[in-house]
């Protein structure tokens, strides 16, 4: 199975899935509410809004989005909004969470709390799903938002998290490219050594339900023509589903470059917690926030 674009994914969700419940942290943000309005209209989600109630109601009125009074919870602080959202998830009153007008660090403090948070004794990692005009299917980039400089052990878990996302979308054996500047192992370049090790783990069945190639350069992972010219043979070449990046800076710049310079569409979220967390930049467009809601609602 291959999902070509977000339109195809949205159609699949509308046809096959029940409406999910999302709790939104600091929902007094216009783009967030615009995304929720569209997602509710499409039957994808129903929402609980937490934040400054007066601001939320003012924005709802401005965009003609009707919400019942009991679905809006007033909050005087970002800290309370985040902890209340976590509480709602733990009480199973919502299926997943969405970041609104709150700093990521403040949201995650509540999420990773050892006693009252949403951890699962595993690494939480960020995944960006992109629809790129020049590529033939949706593509994931991880991790560009959570783990700063992952060790090999952490890369293994980040990879598994991303693979689980694709399995939940209906893929059977997603193709993973462990990115590096070159495709040959160089002991002075840690990402090449890690790439080879992760590939060997895959071949030895230590990592399953995917096909891993590494180390591999971006051009080879994304372009079959480049692979042919360089005489590089791999089933992942030119057909990757997931790009595992060496560090957070690489992932962040790559995803944003594809969006702002490559006219790509993107959905961002955190996986590895008890529930998915739709997480985009506070400056993200309503479309990006909507697409993040779509992806998270599909991950069940």
* CA gap 57, 44 in Å, rounded: 22
Do 252 and 283 belong to one domain?
Answer: no
Q: Please name which of 247, 254, 178 lies closest in space to residue 215, comparing C-alpha atoms.
A: 178
Do 134 and 107 belong to one domain?
Answer: no
Do 286 and 155 belong to one domain?
Answer: no
Residue 280 clears pLDDT 90, i.e. is over it: no
CATH of the domain at 277: 3.40.50.10950
Average pLDDT in the 99-110 region?
A: 93
Do 252 and 266 belong to one domain?
Answer: yes
Buried-exposed string 145-161: b where 16+ CB fall within 10 A, e elsewhere: bbbeebeeebbbbbbbb
CATH of the domain at 149: 3.40.718.10
Do 17 and 129 belong to one domain?
Answer: no
Do 148 and 104 belong to one domain?
Answer: no
pLDDT tens, position by position, 200-232: 999 999 999 999 999 999 999 999 999 999 999
Do 42 and 69 belong to one domain?
Answer: yes
Domain limits at 195?
Answer: 123-270
Q: How many structural domains comprise the chain?
A: 2
Do 109 and 220 belong to one domain?
Answer: no
Residue 121 clears pLDDT 90, i.e. is over it: no
pLDDT score for 299: 86
Residue 17 clears pLDDT 80, i.e. is over it: no
Average pLDDT in the 84-104 region?
A: 96
Element of type H or E holding 129: strand 125-131
pTM: 0.93
Output the CA angle 27-28-31, nearest 5 degrees. Answer: 80
Q: What is the mean pLDDT of the chain?
A: 95
Residue 300 clears pLDDT 80, i.e. is over it: no
pLDDT tens, position by position, 64-84: 999 999 999 999 899 999 999
Q: Residue 170 has which token pair?
A: 């209906």
Do 157 and 196 belong to one domain?
Answer: yes
Average pLDDT in the 115-127 region?
A: 90
Residue 119 pLDDT class (50, 70, 90 cuts):
confident
Element of type H or E holding 73: strand 72-74
Do 178 and 53 belong to one domain?
Answer: no
Do 157 and 222 belong to one domain?
Answer: yes
Do 249 and 297 belong to one domain?
Answer: no
């Amino acid at each position: 199975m291959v999902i070509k674009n977000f339109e195809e994914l949205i159609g699949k969700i509308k046809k096959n899935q029940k409406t999910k419940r999302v709790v939104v942290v600091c929902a007094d943000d216009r783009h967030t509410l615009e995304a929720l309005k569209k997602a509710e209209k499409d039957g994808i989600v129903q929402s609980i809004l937490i934040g400054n109630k007066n601001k939320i109601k003012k924005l709802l009125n401005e965009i003609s989005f009707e919400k019942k009074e009991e679905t809006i919870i007033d909050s005087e602080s970002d800290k309370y909004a985040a902890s209340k959202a976590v509480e709602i998830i733990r009480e199973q009153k919502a299926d997943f969470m969405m970041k609104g007008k709150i700093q990521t660090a403040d949201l995650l403090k509540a999420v990773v709390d050892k006693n009252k948070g949403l951890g699962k004794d595993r690494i939480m990692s960020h995944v960006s799903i992109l629809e790129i005009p020049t590529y033939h299917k949706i593509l994931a980039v991880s991790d560009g938002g959570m783990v700063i400089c992952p060790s090999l052990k952490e890369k293994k878990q980040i990879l598994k998290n991303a693979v689980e996302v694709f399995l939940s979308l209906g893929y059977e054996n997603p193709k993973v490219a462990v990115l590096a500047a070159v495709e040959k192992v160089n002991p002075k370049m840690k990402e090449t050594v890690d790439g080879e090790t992760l590939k060997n783990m895959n071949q030895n069945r230590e990592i399953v339900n995917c096909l891993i190639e590494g180390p591999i350069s971006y051009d080879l992972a994304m372009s079959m023509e480049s692979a042919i010219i360089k005489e590089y043979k791999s089933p992942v070449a030119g057909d990757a589903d997931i790009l595992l990046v060496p560090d957070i800076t690489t992932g962040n710049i790559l995803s944003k470059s594809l969006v702002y310079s490559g006219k790509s569409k993107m959905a961002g979220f955190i996986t590895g917690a008890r529930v998915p967390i739709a997480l985009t930049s506070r400056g993200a467009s309503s479309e990006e926030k909507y697409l993040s809601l779509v992806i998270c609602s599909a991950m069940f």
